[in-house]
């Protein structure tokens, strides 16, 4: 195994750390706390109330759990970097951060596809819903979402770990796919499997989700007004989350490919977007747009304020 794989790597995407060190730390700490509390609160409500023990809400809890893990992969290290004189990370730790980041990303798209299927069965085949979406089916979809994503990303991590490094710093604040620029030459197998991951974990689940919701809306247009309203209310939050996450992941891939002469301040701000919006967007959308969750949230706040 190449010894260079254990060398510290410098993260050079930070701007004016010395001047705004504690301000950045406080902002990130507040955001991280808000993300943990908002996501965990809704997960707790889904676990606590039996009327939320349905496939749709279980999938929502899985998405919000992903949001907590997604943020925990990035924010603690980010806070540590803001308080450090030099922002470094070992290549092994960088690969682990990369693994967790994209494992969660892949499972997110697969979970959204599972949610789309659940909505399709619920709205278009309501009489068969109890027999199709059983607890066993939901469990299998949940496990496969994380398992398939983990298998794909593990292969990429193993191939990367065996690749020689020629550079020891890159312009970034966490280890996304921009760390591939550290390698002397990217193996063709790694490039090919990266395409496989993109197709299996992003494109196919996204196309399935879009196709499923298109099918739902097409069928609902032929039905009564009440049926259309129900379809719209239950599908809209999931579509908003899909659009948001797809945009952020496109953003992540794009910023990782931007040339090094791109203004560092702009690059720093853009990189933060990939770890800021989505973990806060999910609990906001599901907490306000899903009626049953919204009811329990209001009761919780009223009870705690008394």
Q: What is the 3-state secondary structure (H, E, C) of the chain?
A: CCHHHHCEEEECCCCCHHHHHHHHHHHHHHHHHHHHHHHHHHHHHHHHCHHHCCHHHHHHHHHHHHHHHHHHHHHHHHHHHHCCCCCEEEHHHHHHHHHHHHHHHHHHHHHHHHHHHHHHHHHHCHHHHHHHCCHHHHHHHHHHHHHHHHHHHHHHHHHHHCCCECCCEECCCCCCHHHHHHECCCCHHHHHHHHHHHHHHHHHHHHHHHHHHHHHHHHHCCCCHHHHHHHHHHHHHHHHHHHHHHHHHHHHHHHHHCCCCCCHHHHHHHHHHHHHHHHHHHHHHHHHHCHHHHHHHHHHHHHHHC
Confidence (pLDDT) at 267 = 66
Q: Is 80 exceeded by the pLDDT of residue 204?
A: yes
Confidence (pLDDT) at 4 = 43
pLDDT, tens only, 281-296? 888 888 777 778 888 8
3 pLDDT band, cuts 50/70/90, is very low
Cβ-based neighbour number of residue 215 at 10 Å: 14
* CATH number for the domain harbouring residue 208: 1.20.1070.10
Phi, psi of 175 (to 5 degrees): -90, 90
Share of the chain above pLDDT 70, in %: 85
Confidence (pLDDT) at 2 = 44
Domain that holds residue 245: 3-305
Mean pLDDT of 33-48: 91
**Which tokens sit at 36?**
């943990």
Most confident of the ranges 31-35, 161-165, 170-174, 187-191: 31-35
Residues whose CB is less than 8 angstroms from the CB of residue 141 and which lie 6 or more positions away in sequence, other chains included: 59, 114, 117
pLDDT, tens only, 112-157? 999 999 989 988 888 899 999 999 999 999 999 999 999 999 998 8
pLDDT mean across residues, the chain: 81
pLDDT, tens only, 77-108? 888 888 887 778 888 888 888 899 899 989 99
Domain count, the chain: 1
Alpha carbon of 138 to those of 31, 55, 77, 118, 280: distances in Å?
A: 32, 6, 34, 9, 25
Confidence (pLDDT) at 62 = 94
Higher pLDDT, 16 or 278: 278
Confidence (pLDDT) at 5 = 47
Higher pLDDT, 223 or 256: 223
């Amino acid at each position: 195994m190449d010894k260079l794989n254990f060398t510290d790597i410098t993260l050079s995407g930070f701007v004016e750390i010395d001047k705004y060190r504690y301000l950045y730390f406080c902002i990130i700490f507040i955001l991280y706390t808000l993300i943990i509390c908002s996501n965990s609160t809704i997960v707790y409500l889904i676990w606590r109330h039996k009327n939320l023990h349905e496939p749709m809400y279980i999938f929502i809890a899985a998405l919000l759990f992903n949001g907590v893990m997604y943020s925990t992969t990035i924010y603690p290290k980010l806070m540590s970097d803001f308080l450090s004189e030099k922002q470094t990370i070992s290549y092994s730790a960088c690969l682990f951060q990369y693994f967790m980041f994209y494992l969660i990303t892949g499972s997110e798209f697969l979970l959204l596809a599972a949610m789309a299927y659940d909505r399709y069965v619920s709205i278009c085949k309501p009489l068969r819903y109890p027999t199709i979406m059983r607890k066993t089916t939901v469990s299998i979809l949940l496990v496969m979402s994380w398992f398939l994503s983990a298998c794909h990303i593990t292969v990429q991590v193993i191939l990367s770990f065996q690749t020689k490094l020629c550079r020891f710093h890159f312009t970034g604040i966490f280890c996304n796919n921009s760390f591939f620029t550290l390698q002397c030459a990217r193996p063709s197998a790694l490039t090919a499997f990266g395409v496989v991951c993109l197709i299996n974990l992003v494109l196919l689940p996204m196309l399935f989700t879009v196709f499923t919701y298109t099918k739902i809306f097409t069928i609902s247009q032929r039905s009564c007004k009440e049926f259309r309203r129900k379809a719209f209310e239950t599908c809209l939050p999931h579509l908003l989350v899909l659009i948001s996450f797809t945009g952020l992941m496109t953003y992540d891939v794009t910023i990782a490919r931007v040339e090094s002469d791109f203004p560092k301040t702009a690059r720093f701000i853009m990189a933060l977007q990939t770890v800021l919006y989505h973990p806060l967007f999910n609990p906001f959308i599901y907490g306000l747009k899903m009626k049953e969750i919204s009811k329990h949230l209001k009761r919780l706040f009223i009870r705690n304020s008394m």
